Amino acid sequence: MPNHKSAEKRDRQNAKRNERNTANRTKLRSQVKKLRSALSHGKADEAKALHGETISVIDKAVQKGILHRNAAARHKARLTGHVNKLAGK
């Protein structure tokens, strides 16, 4: 339990930030899973449609501090490669 007013405020702020970060991380993971599911089922048109949305969600996660920019670049490159490979079949 916090003993100071400032510590109580810090607890409230951390709880809010944790909630926000969890929601953003969940959105990111769900979007990536949707794209990976479309890729694994061989649905090229659906994968292409989801690809743009997924890249956008990844970029937003970087802006919000959920994901490191280099990790985001790695994810985007790999997902783009998979989408292109599927479309090239």
5-87 homologous superfamily:
Ribosomal protein S20 (1.20.58.110)
Sorted by where each begins, the domain ranges of the chain are 5-87
First-to-last CA distance in the chain? 59
> Per-residue pLDDT tens for 25-65?
999 999 999 999 999 999 999 999 999 999 999 999 999 99
For residues 51 and 44, give the distance between their C-alpha atoms in angstroms, rounded to a whole number. 10
> How much is the pLDDT for 35?
97
Tokens of 40: 């694994």
